Amino acid sequence: MKIRAFKCSSGSNWWRIDSPANWINSETEHEYLTFDAKDWSGDILDGDIVVLQMIVNPEIIEQIHSQGAKVVYEIDDLLTKRTYRNEVDNPEMFIINTIKMLKGADLVTTTTKPLAKELKKYAKRVVVIPNYIDLDWWGSPLKIKRRGDIRIGWAGSTSHLSDLEYLKEPIAKILKEFDNTTFIYCGAGGTSSDLASTELMFGRDIFSNIPRERKEYHLGTNTETWAAKSKTLHLDIALAPLINDEFNQCKSNIKWQEYSLNEWAGVYSDLAPYSEISGALKAKDQEGFYQQIKYLITHPKERANMARASRQYVLRDWTMAKNYNKWVKAFENV
């Protein structure tokens, strides 16, 4: 097969487009070329299948079909309903065109069963292919020896700022109770400064209730270097809070995979992305996060065992090397 993909600018393009393409090119006889969506010119480049990642322009599907190729629409977020997570200039038209893309595609690929259930209202065929992590990209944990301090942290994008804010009270309680703890947040959340220009550049510090000496704010980075960046946070306990809304109920377990491969013990919201993962600590509310973080602080051996077991779980079941054929099968079927 000759597969051509036009990918969006979100961080998910590595998980959903580039990484599967690399494995398909190296391990099969198929040819999978990827391009930025902004480079679309109407030419399918002799492709049999054209993958469009969250592009919202129904005319492109007509152009592809007119050249005899099949269209696979890749979507990993809830874009068929208006939420505060996907604000655009014209939300009504954005949703209408997203639905047209779903209806016009020969196949829709997505990440989770809850999201697939929503997409099946419009698409002819929907296949769930979960996110899998590429060890060639992620590599091994980075370990350093430290003296008794415990680093508790979160890493993510600005689209999850409201989820991060959910941690304000639990983290404040933990830092007050345990003197040897520091809170680290990377990619969103802002930073405190005596200079107004600093907060203007990096955003208002949503953890202004925490003393500066007890927290660290780190800038995010692009997808290509994110694996290396994440390791430098040196976390002992990693957190993945999610507000219980439709958008988050359709998200995947990427944070669990990343945290686990870094060999960090984690506490996760007890929602669909994480509820089915065995061996991970879950929290139903803010008090739950406080109690589970406290448990991991006061049980260091259990924390270490949990971190190792979680990494082994990902290595066993959640790597791209063991699962890239799911994309091959979907493309062959279409």
Question: Domain boundaries in the chain?
Answer: 2-129, 136-317
Predicted pLDDT at 309: 97
- Among 133, 106, 139, which residue's Cα sits nearest to residue 23? 133
d(CA 240, CA 90): 31
Q: Residues 217, 54: contact at Cβ < 8 Å?
A: no
pLDDT of residue 85: 63
CB under 8 Å to 75, separation ≥6 — which residues?
A: 53, 54, 98, 102, 108, 109, 110, 115, 119
Q: What pLDDT shows up at residue 104?
A: 98
Phi-psi label, residue 197: left if phi above 0, alpha if psi -120 to 50, beta otherwise = alpha
**pLDDT value, residue 19:** 97
Q: What is the pLDDT of residue 242?
A: 96
CATH architecture, domain 136-317: 3-Layer(aba) Sandwich (3.40)
CA distance 243 to 225: 28
CA dihedral 114, 241, 283, 212 (to 10 degrees): 180
Residues 6+ apart with CB under 8 A from 173: 290
CATH number, domain 2-129, options 3.60.20.10, 3.40.50.720, 3.40.50.2000, 3.90.1150.10: 3.40.50.2000
Q: pLDDT tens, position by position, for the chain (334 residues)?
A: 999 999 998 889 999 999 999 999 999 999 999 999 999 999 999 999 999 999 999 999 999 999 999 999 999 999 998 776 666 677 889 999 999 999 999 999 999 999 999 999 999 999 999 999 999 999 999 888 877 899 999 999 888 889 999 999 999 999 999 999 999 999 999 887 777 777 677 778 899 999 999 999 999 999 889 999 999 999 999 999 999 999 999 999 999 999 999 999 999 999 999 998 988 999 999 999 999 999 999 999 999 999 999 999 999 999 999 999 999 999 999 9
Strand spans (E) along 178-264: 181-186, 215-218, 237-240
SS3 46: coil
**pLDDT of amino acid 199:** 67
Cite the beta strand spans of the chain per DSSP E: 2-7, 31-36, 49-53, 70-74, 107-110, 126-128, 150-155, 181-186, 215-218, 237-240, 265-269, 281-283
pLDDT value of position 147: 78
Side chain identity, residue 121: K
Q: Do domains 2-129 and 136-317 have the same CATH topology?
A: yes
